[in-house]
Structure 1
Amino acid sequence: MVLVLMSGQLVSPGYAQEKELPAAVRQVIPDDCVHYRLNPSGRLAFRVWSLPPASDGHRIWLLPCSVTPANTTQVVVWEDRTGHAELLMFRRWDQDVWSSTPYLFNVTYDERTGVLTSLYREDALGDCGTWTVWRADWGHFIMRSLEAKTVCDGHEGPYRLIYSSEGDHPS
């Protein structure tokens, strides 16, 4: 198994043994995931991971939707052991406004701990944006923390804590 160190976190690359996505997973991919839909290499760029051991065979699929210099937009599809698939929704914070979205950015996932992260870069320099951390919980993800830097000033940090979960409360 190959392990990669990203952002100080040990992360499994999640490369699938599978050569193509199951039909149920393909059916829930949004139509605007153009990198996946229109680009032959995009259709091969998916990754698949098992959820932590207690999930009893459930998996998540990570698929690219768009690629820009600052961000790779991705969606996460949950698949249970029977083959049923669902597009997962995540909370998003944007300048003091909360909403739900299936789209995440520059995703990493640690299969061992069930921690999923998303780093949204507001500009190509990457000096502002949001950093969000979720933990797997039986086919869903609970937001653990969200940090943001709203001023793009050419300097790295500081990010300020916007949200932090003190327990297992769903986001």
Structure 2
Amino acid sequence: MRGKLFRALFATMTVLVLGAGVAQAAPTVGRYAGYGGPVSSLGCDTNVIGGNQTGGILADIDESTYENCGQWGLMWTVSPYHPWQLHPDSQSGTVTTYTITNIDADVSGPFCEATIVGSAGASYDSAPGVLTVDYQATTVTYVDPANDCLGLITQGEQLPVLADWYDIVFFG
């Protein structure tokens, strides 16, 4: 009996060491949500982003919501088109820098139809769990001449569509 137990244990150890290398835990795969502050350029109270993550590395933003957007009593809707791609550029300690590309969103409401596209740069510090948007290169590429947003948004204008920061929360 002891011989069989020893052989089974030895065979298991051999598979772990020779067949699979050093045994490691599988990376955590799940979702994240980023709860952001206001997007002042669009007059939005809050902005929430979300996407997949693997082992604490943020993946593409595949959803975002905007709440209470508008200015001077005019309210509008921000309709993003996803995914917005997150490309990790570098990592140093707990900080990973990202380039966010493929940002695309429509703004619509009374007297307003516009499209905003572009990219942004961000850094994620896993110690406090905060994604900070370092810069935004998002430009208004289209304004409907018949619904020109009362001149508040003009074609060619730089118009940020992300909050300045997001508290990131991971889900299993």
State the TM-score, normalized to the length of structure 1. Answer: 0.31
Q: Larger helix proportion, structure 1 or 2?
A: 2
Higher strand share: 2
Question: Which one has the largest radius of gyration?
Answer: 2
Q: Which has the higher contact order (CA 8 A, sep 6+)?
A: 2
